[in-house]
Amino acid sequence: MMKKLSIGPKLYIALCFVFFYLPIAVTMFFSFNSSKSLTKFTGFSLRWYKKLLEDQEILSAVYVSISIAVIATLVATVLGTITAIGLSRSRKVLKEWILNINNIPIMNPDIVTAIGLMILFTSVTISRGYMTMLLAHIAFCTPYVITSVYPKVKRMDHNLANAAMDLGATPFQALIKVIIPMLKPGIYAGMLLSFTMSLDDFVVSYFVTGNGVSNISIVVYNMTKRTNPTINALSTLLILSVGIILVALNVIPVITKKRRSKNVEMSGSKRKIFRRCMAVAGGVAIIVVAVFCVTRFTTMSNKPVLRVYNSGEYVDTELLTRFEKENNCRVIYETFDSNESMYTKIQSGSEYDIVIPSDYMIEKLLDEDYIQEINWDLISNKEAIMPGLIGKSFDKEGRYAVPYYWGSVGILYDKTAVDKDDLKAGWELLRNPKYKGNIYMYDSERDSFMVALKALGYSMNTTDESQLRKAYEWLIEQNKTMEPVYVGDDVMDNMISGNKQMAVVYSGDAAYVISENENMEFFVPQQGSNVWTDAMVITRDCQNIELAHKYIDFFLQEDVAIQNTIYIGYDSAVKSVYEFFRDEEYADNSGCAPDISNEKNEEFKNRDKDTKAFCSNLWTKVKSN
């Protein structure tokens, strides 16, 4: 009956698959790269696979992703299928209501679903983590199953089920033996969709999770600062395992079928494939749940727990393991991508013992009475801290914050492409028409306004609307004449690859880029800049104050700080470590130890709500201009 495809369609299908698999092929290819780069292949190596197997964070994320996807898919498939069957028998009003409500999660942007669920989970005070993530995934997967199964139900011949029951089948038997088999294609499609949606979800998981539970997407997202092929290695393994399962499911039955007899009907073997699929899925689910329970029990031991919330890529995780061993405790470590998102998370009810925000955010948290005082008697390494870093304007008496890292903001440029004389213009370099189309601006409303305000000679903490408006015009003018690209942390990878000639970056990020690409150089414009400090603070609802102090003290230890700094690249708050990097390790690196003696430098202060709203509105205008 079926015609064989001619060459044209075959070619078309092949081309489509090339398009699909091109990015995956690239991902796989670079998993074998010997260097960190994702654009230049420097040689074959398996180092990223080795790293992957050592990376506890990624491994636990894999486990979370897969177990949630399997469980959510199974629950959603059962729930969705029975609902779809019941739906076709329901009254019209109810049916339409359910279908419309059901469409909402499919139609709504993920982010809306995510925020809605987040508010919900917060208001009913469920502790956020694995359970909330699972509930959320079932919530957004089930509608996909219903929309795939329901059309099949509508088109199904209802008489068959009635006939089965007339012939003595119970409703349950009729359901299993008659109805479900008729709906199989729809159920398959629904299962596939929901498994895929769940495995790939980022936004919803990101908002509803907590207590250090993260899936692959969240880990990858937090890696944006420093992408490295570890995660490529992971996807290669994932692809290979999917391939193996595929072969197992499709080739083995064919072989066994051939061996047995040639007159087995196609539909029979299809049923067998279906059963085998279900058996495998069920088996995997059971194993996963069992493993989960076991790991839960073992980790639920009486060890004290410390919940730390830090910026992404802002600690060498080996040090966390060391701290856990030394203090016989467990660190639940979570990361955020900006001070603002951290604030959102805290506001929505997530609890932590230690948080590591920046200066102005500390000021804000202090205002809101979120932070408790440091007991300096418990910090044996207090003397190691660089003088001048304690008692900054956000914490004048030095009672609440223990400095972690500090730095400045400046321009990173390609010294082979940018004329040395042009640097004299300072921030105005960013408006030099010579470099049109060759600029990355950092997408931070605060730092971009800082650049413009400083270029105009104003304070970066101004609340004067006319000055802010002039800064806005500066940025608009720059956008029009220079066509800059506004980027996030991907600026680092871009500059390492030398995609553009200059970028506004933080000093520590510059140090990292320079260590990877020696053509780059960093300077802080003479008009002044933002000098910032990130510090460790203990929260008001900290549950283990002694351990929290130990954690802070640990990161002030010299050997710890050196190892941490090698990983992070910023300027340490520990004096001896800072000097070691300035004078030895990074002596030629202009991103390290930037000169901050300029009197025009400032640090950010917390803004009032109106100024904040005013600026963010203007910043949106600049970007979308």
Partner 1 sequence: MRHYKGLVKPYVIWSFLLIALPLLLIVLYSVTTGDNSLVTIHFTLDNFKKIADPVYVSVFAKSLQIGLIATGICLVLAYPMAYFIAKCSDSVQDILILLVTIPMWINTLLRTYAWISLLADNGIVNSLLEMLGLDRVTMMYTNFSVIIGLVCDLLPFMIIPIHTSLAKMDYSLVEAAGDLGANRIQTFTKVTLKLSLPGVINGVTMVFVLSISSFVIPVLLGGHQFVLIGNLIENQFISVGDWNFGSAISVILAVAILLIMGLMNKAESDDNGGAE
Name the residue nearer to partner 1 (CB basis): 242 or 290: 242
Name the residue nearer to partner 1 (CB basis): 8 or 387: 8
Name the residue nearer to partner 1 (CB basis): 384 or 504: 504
In whole angstroms, the minimum distance from the beta carbon of 343 to partner 1 comes to 6
In whole angstroms, the minimum distance from the beta carbon of 108 to partner 1 comes to 6
In whole angstroms, the minimum distance from the beta carbon of 56 to partner 1 comes to 19
- What gap in Å lies between CA 505 and CA 413, rounded to an integer? 10
* Pairing assessment for the beta strands 401-414 and 520-523 based on DSSP bridges: antiparallel
Name the residue nearer to partner 1 (CB basis): 430 or 561: 430
* Pairing assessment for the beta strands 439-442 and 502-506 based on DSSP bridges: parallel
DSSP for 9-74, please give it. HHHHHHHHHHHHHHHHHHHHHHTTBSSS-SS----B--HHHHHHHH-HHHHHHHHHHHHHHHHHHH
In whole angstroms, the minimum distance from the beta carbon of 181 to partner 1 comes to 14
DSSP letter (8 states) at residue 404: E
Name the residue nearer to partner 1 (CB basis): 15 or 286: 15
> Which token pair is 283?
């088996």
- Give the CA angle between residues 536, 537, 543 to the nearest 5°: 120
In whole angstroms, the minimum distance from the beta carbon of 23 to partner 1 comes to 3
Write out 267-327 in H/E/C secondary structure: HHHHHHHHHHHHHHHHHHHHHHHHHHHHHHHHHCCCCCEEEEEEECCCCCHHHHHHHHHHH
Name the residue nearer to partner 1 (CB basis): 259 or 609: 609
In whole angstroms, the minimum distance from the beta carbon of 551 to partner 1 comes to 27
Nearest Cα to 565, choosing from 405, 399, 330, 418?
405
Read off the amino acid at residue 181: P
* Pairing assessment for the beta strands 571-572 and 531-539 based on DSSP bridges: unpaired
Read off the amino acid at residue 104: I
- 621 Cβ neighbours under 8 A, 6+ residues apart: 472, 476
Rounded to 5 degrees, φ, ψ at 35 are -110, 180
In whole angstroms, the minimum distance from the beta carbon of 597 to partner 1 comes to 31
Name the residue nearer to partner 1 (CB basis): 211 or 479: 479
DSSP letter (8 states) at residue 235: H
Name the residue nearer to partner 1 (CB basis): 38 or 524: 38
- What gap in Å lies between CA 86 and CA 283, rounded to an integer? 28
In whole angstroms, the minimum distance from the beta carbon of 286 to partner 1 comes to 21
Measured distance between the N- and C-terminal CA atoms of the chain, rounded to whole angstroms: 57
**Whether the Cβ atoms of residue 29 and residue 41 lie closer than 8 Å to each other:** yes
Q: Which residues pair with 233 in a beta bridge?
A: none
Name the residue nearer to partner 1 (CB basis): 232 or 564: 232
Please report how the helices 56-88 and 266-299 are oriented relative to each other, as an axis angle in degrees rounded to 10: 130
Name the residue nearer to partner 1 (CB basis): 123 or 127: 123
In whole angstroms, the minimum distance from the beta carbon of 506 to partner 1 comes to 16
Q: Which residues pair with 571 in a beta bridge?
A: 406
In whole angstroms, the minimum distance from the beta carbon of 485 to partner 1 comes to 4
Name the residue nearer to partner 1 (CB basis): 506 or 581: 506
**Whether the Cβ atoms of residue 570 and residue 586 lie closer than 8 Å to each other:** no
Name the residue nearer to partner 1 (CB basis): 158 or 424: 158
In whole angstroms, the minimum distance from the beta carbon of 239 to partner 1 comes to 6
- What gap in Å lies between CA 449 and CA 235, rounded to an integer? 39
Rounded to 5 degrees, φ, ψ at 370 are -95, -15
Name the residue nearer to partner 1 (CB basis): 161 or 510: 161
In whole angstroms, the minimum distance from the beta carbon of 24 to partner 1 comes to 6
In whole angstroms, the minimum distance from the beta carbon of 463 to partner 1 comes to 17
- What gap in Å lies between CA 45 and CA 65, rounded to an integer? 27
**Whether the Cβ atoms of residue 514 and residue 593 lie closer than 8 Å to each other:** no
